[in-house]
Structure 1
Amino acid sequence: MTKTTDAPVNNGPWPYAAGYDNCPEVLDPISLSVKGTIPPWLEGALYRSGPGTYDLKTESGKDVHIQHWFDGLAQVHRYEIQKGGQVSYRSRNTSNDLRAEYIKEEKVTGVTFCQRDPCKTIFNKFFTTFKTAALGGGHVLGGTNTNVAVIPTPNFPGLMDKKDGSKKSGKTNIRNLIMTTDGNAIQELDPVTLEPKGLFSYGAIDDSLLASNLAPAHPCVDPETGDYFTVLLTFGPTAVYKVVRIRESVKGPAREPDLDVLAEIQSPRPTYMHSFCLTKRYVVVNHWQCDFAAWGVSVLWTGNAWESFKKHDPTVKSQFYVVDRYHGRHVATFECDPYYAFHSVNAWDEGDDIVLDLASYKDHTVIGDYYIDNLRNETSGIPPQQAVLRRYRLSAITKQASISNLNRKQPPTPVPATIDFQLDESINFELPSINPSRYLQPYRYAFGVNRSGLNKTLIYDRIIKVDLTKVKEGDMAGSATFWVQDQCTPSEPVFVPTPNGTDEDDGVLLSIVLDGRRRTGFLLVLDAKTLTEIARADMPEGKVAPHNFHGMYIPNRVN
């Protein structure tokens, strides 16, 4: 089923490349023009994060081109939905020291995700890598010389409460706001102005994490306890994954948070992991296949992550490491055929099993599909590999934990994971969102973005809703509903539940959409039940909504 105001077209280029243009920041909030009626209960702030700059001009007139989507300079956006259905917008660049360094050096410097630089010498790569590593492991980084562009997360334990200085924004639920990325770095922003307030590493909280190199950009936060979980990777001949829990200090929210290393898992495979899974009882480390060569030292001579990854090996199994949240122990390991993923959808305990859903790829070569020159090529660019929603089952956890308890000196012996189902490849699925009340619980509906293949666009052109009950019943074709509009490119939809709603899909979806016809963007509000448009808030003419990564909606506090 498709909900649309304009039928999709199939003739000529799809004008989505404007989403990779430099996006000027808007430091002072501007009012947006609203069409339709925003529900009166929808009052709060939508944060969006991702790259905002790819092309720089130096003082000498030289062009500096950032080559990959993941390396674009960070920009954070704030859409404030106010009482009466008014919407305002502001944005801010949050890595200006790094921007200044690129301009001064007339090139992209340091270690990046995918930037290729054939002119770098091995010595320079070695030096800049260890310079970056030293900063990344230090107590306080300071400034804005690190690109932290992926995930906005509110209320990080241990940061001082922040008072909202904007009279117009009312009472918010935000005490603080942080940004995370796939490194050992956290950036604090002012929740209203988006001004960078500080930059620090996990090592600033606990010295045992000083040497850690990477952490998934997506943390997991227990909605009931507020506990914050992450996984820190340290490179070496034996890679070490530290499963970490950070929680508010018993001495109060303004004190240094309590940090516990729940488990240290050793592996011969240092792997790039963008996310992992959490249930009410366990942390699940998704050890898919995207392995660094030479124990991670390969980054020294490539200067970027992409060229330091090993080639996909169909003989190397992927693993799921299960860590007991409450006893702090690695209790089970499951393995399956190799796959790759960026994003976990949801996970929960089902009896003595763990069920988890991922947006899975055949392999990690999808990362190489997101070079900017390819994505900007509206005529002959190559579409990126697409993900499918897949459900894994890890069975009889207690049994595996009992066996591992008898052999504490050895890591748990791997046992097979099984696949309950996966969507057809024609129903590709990425950038997942669910009703937050169903997080860590069984759920029915998953929302995301989808590439139809009907339009001449390399990236997503539809918002998708998947009924997983229908999938389990075998009704694959009837499980998916779509929203699409001619020459429009949606971003990740963010689900906001209706207060006191009774059905799981009672609520709205918020997505930032690029309108290629008008070269501008709008905040889209969809009915989550039907994917019909309720309202939109138009950006000013010529103001483009960049293709960004992720969003977080924070409702205002109910008076």
Structure 2
Amino acid sequence: MAPNSKAAKAKAAAKANKASANANKTSANNNKNSTNGNKNSGNGNKNSAANSNKAWPIAAGYENCPEVVEPVTLKVKGAIPSWLEGSLYRSGPGNYDLKSDAGKDVHIQHWFDGLAQLHKYEIHKGGRVTYRSRNTSDDLRERYKTAENVTGVTFCQRDPCKTIFQKFFTTFKAATMGTGEKMEGTNVNVNVMFTPNFPGLRQGADEKKKVSERKSPLRNLITTTDGNALQELDPDTLEPIRIFNYGYLDDSLGSSNLAPAHPCIDPETNEYFTSLLTFGPTALYKIVRIRGSHKGHHAEPDIDVLAEIKSPRPTYMHSFALTKRYVVVCHWQCDFKAWGLSVLWYGNAWESFAAHNPNLKCQFYVVDRHRGRHVATFEADPYYAFHTINAWDEDDDVVIDIAAYKDHTVIGDYFVDNLRDPKGKPPQQAVLRRYRLREVSRHAKVSKTNREKGQPPTPAPAAVDFELDEANNFELPTMNPTRYLRPYRYTYGVNRSGKTPSLIYDRLIRVDLDQIKRAGKNSQAAYKYWMEDQCTPSEPVFVPAPDATDEGQGVLLSIVLNGRTRTGFLLILDAMTMNEIARADMQDGHISPHNFHGVFVNSLTA
């Protein structure tokens, strides 16, 4: 995919300058309802449900958030560790309520469909903190405003006014001519996960020059979503550079429909893994490894399809697992009806999912990442998950920690109108569950006979080592990255205490897994929390302390919505004690929207 034209860049720059001026004006006027003053963030939100719930502090996280294109300095309280220097990138939605040129309101219904807004909190030497943000789906916004409706395939947007004829026509057109979605400009919503230094992009002479002129130490910065779409960004400014899919890297991967937003990356080898799903009467999962060429960043990357796994179940999978020996596709239950064609009929994933089946087992497909074979399959009772936490090889077993739900109906709990309503339904909560796949190599020997007959491996039962109670519910997990793919002691996430009226998370949680193994899941010593009145934290990001001698030595970074002031702050906690070290407050008039994920890039070691 070629980079945007000069004219398009000039247009984007003009729009960015206008948005920046609006954001600065909003800040100067101390306008706490900042979305009304920012045309590029929705151009008016007077009739939105958010404004009718001013007394409900959590609703501020689902209002339109203005761009801050030029960096602003935040007010720091406390002492930021002198070794903490770098950039925290945050992803997620930032706009839900638009107004067409004719004055018609366009409302985005679901949290997952909110228009992409990416954020950068930069911690400078000496403890100064700056913030900037960027809307990265402007063309899509304009398309919605022009159509006066949310168009195209979405995650959960429903259109009750669509007639049977319209549904049939849309399905026929998509099936025979393609969906019509163009992979260009900023016409796609890519807002879930960051990958710094993605190995799949070669660095030509022009790119090498651009990298040398940047302040950031990164070669590139990529965002992903659950579709077959990736977006490259400028690591300094967050300016969108291009949209592409895996077919840009290898033609055989372009026809796949979905890919988990969370790839798996081996930090030692820098190998990048993903699982690409192609819809059809028999769903096809391609397990793909991407490696930078040994010839250097200027050469084409190495792309390998390690295995192709056929299944009668096309399933929405947001993440999977990796160990030093295996890729493990965690095939939980969230299946598309009609071989995936239901997405074209309904125009969204949510209405396309089949009902939960309590009698349908879930699978773990184990792929040898070195020999490139599907060597074993394990089965478990049905569950659903967004996020795996960590996995590792333990003798001949594979151990996998997952934030598991009872079923996928949790997705329906995140409609924006529900989350804005103080009397809304609290979302279903996940629990930390540990699975064990026993004696993988023994099952691999048995499956060799199956392979010779052209048959898949015979499923074996997966064991559950333990799971935590719902009182210690657990989502948006993180850990010390130095322990990834290895046994570990601490994991961190967000938690709903049940002690406040918050519909979603109101505290951060640290879980001591060693303490649970020693004293059981009811041991209060296994849990530590951070909580503040009317505050909603986001996924914590662990940054290890230099020269640490203990896994817990480091800090947690979280972006927190302050419902009392309708602003936000960057929170820095001691990861061992969960005590606050420092915070950096955002300016008045700038909320901190509830976002998805983050990554910290150390200025000195990236």
Output the TM-score relative to the length of structure 2: 0.87
Code of the aligned partner of 1:150 = V
1:433 equivalent among 475, 478, 483: 478
CA contact (8 A) 2:538 2:594 kept: yes
Equivalent residue for 2:434?
391
SS at match of 1:504: coil
Equivalent residue for 1:3?
none
Q: Quickly say closer, same or farther: Cα 1:290–1:158, change in 2 above 3 A.
A: closer
CA distance in 2, matches of 1:433, 1:13: 32
Q: Quickly say closer, same or farther: Cα 1:558–1:367, change in 2 above 3 A.
A: closer
CA contact (8 A) 2:266 2:272 kept: yes
CA shift, 1:257, in A, is 1.2
Code of the aligned partner of 2:353 = F
Identity of aligned residues (%): 67
SS at match of 1:144: coil
Q: Quickly say closer, same or farther: Cα 1:112–1:377, change in 2 above 3 A.
A: same
Q: Quickly say closer, same or farther: Cα 1:52–1:164, change in 2 above 3 A.
A: farther
CA shift, 1:473, in A, is 1.9
Where is the helix percentage greater, Structure 1 or Structure 2? 2
1:179 equivalent among 216, 223, 233: 223
1:443 equivalent among 456, 463, 488: 488
CA distance in 1, matches of 2:133, 2:180: 27
Equivalent residue for 1:4?
none
Moved more, 41-50 or 207-216: 207-216
| Alpha-carbon displacement from aligned partner over 1:102-134 (angstroms, at most 9, x marks no partner) | 000000000000000122321453267459955
Equivalent residue for 2:196?
154
CA distance in 1, matches of 2:175, 2:254: 13
SS at match of 1:542: coil
SS at match of 1:505: coil
CA shift, 1:557, in A, is 2.0
SS at match of 2:307: strand
CA distance in 1, matches of 2:498, 2:313: 35
CA shift, 1:350, in A, is 0.3
Equivalent residue for 1:228?
272
Taking the TM superposition and a 5 Å limit, the aligned residue runs for 1:296-335 are: 296-335=340-379
CA contact (8 A) 1:158 1:254 kept: no
**Structure 2: tracts of 5 or more residues without a match:** 1-53
Equivalent residue for 1:63?
105
CA shift, 1:212, in A, is 0.4
Tell me if 1:483 matches 2:530.
yes
SS at match of 2:536: strand
Equivalent residue for 1:194?
238
CA shift, 1:312, in A, is 0.2
Equivalent residue for 1:238?
282
Equivalent residue for 1:365?
409
SS at match of 1:307: helix
SS at match of 1:251: coil
1:537 equivalent among 584, 595, 604: 584
CA contact (8 A) 1:110 1:125 kept: no
CA shift, 1:490, in A, is 0.2
CA distance in 2, matches of 1:27, 1:124: 41
CA shift, 1:15, in A, is 1.2
CA distance in 2, matches of 1:510, 1:293: 40
Q: Quickly say closer, same or farther: Cα 1:446–1:128, change in 2 above 3 A.
A: farther
- Give the CA RMSD over aligned residues: 1.6
SS at match of 1:473: helix
Equivalent residue for 1:88?
130
CA distance in 2, matches of 1:540, 1:245: 43
Q: Quickly say closer, same or farther: Cα 1:124–1:490, change in 2 above 3 A.
A: farther
Q: Quickly say closer, same or farther: Cα 1:527–1:455, change in 2 above 3 A.
A: same
SS at match of 1:28: coil
CA shift, 1:328, in A, is 0.2
Taking the TM superposition and a 5 Å limit, the aligned residue runs for 1:99-498 are: 99-120=141-162, 121-126=166-171, 129=174, 141-159=183-201, 160=203, 161=208, 162-163=210-211, 165=213, 169=215, 172-378=216-422, 380-408=423-451, 409-476=454-521, 477-478=523-524, 479-498=526-545
CA contact (8 A) 2:85 2:604 kept: no
CA shift, 1:366, in A, is 0.1
| Alpha-carbon displacement from aligned partner over 1:144-200 (angstroms, at most 9, x marks no partner) | 10000100110011422552646xx5xx44110000000000100000100110110
SS at match of 2:412: helix
CA distance in 2, matches of 1:557, 1:157: 20
CA contact (8 A) 1:217 1:275 kept: yes
Instruction: Report which structure shows greater RCO (CA 8 Å, sep ≥6).
Output: 1
| Alpha-carbon displacement from aligned partner over 1:335-387 (angstroms, at most 9, x marks no partner) | 00000000000000000000000000000000000000000001x10000000
Code of the aligned partner of 1:37 = A
SS at match of 1:19: helix
CA distance in 2, matches of 1:387, 1:328: 33
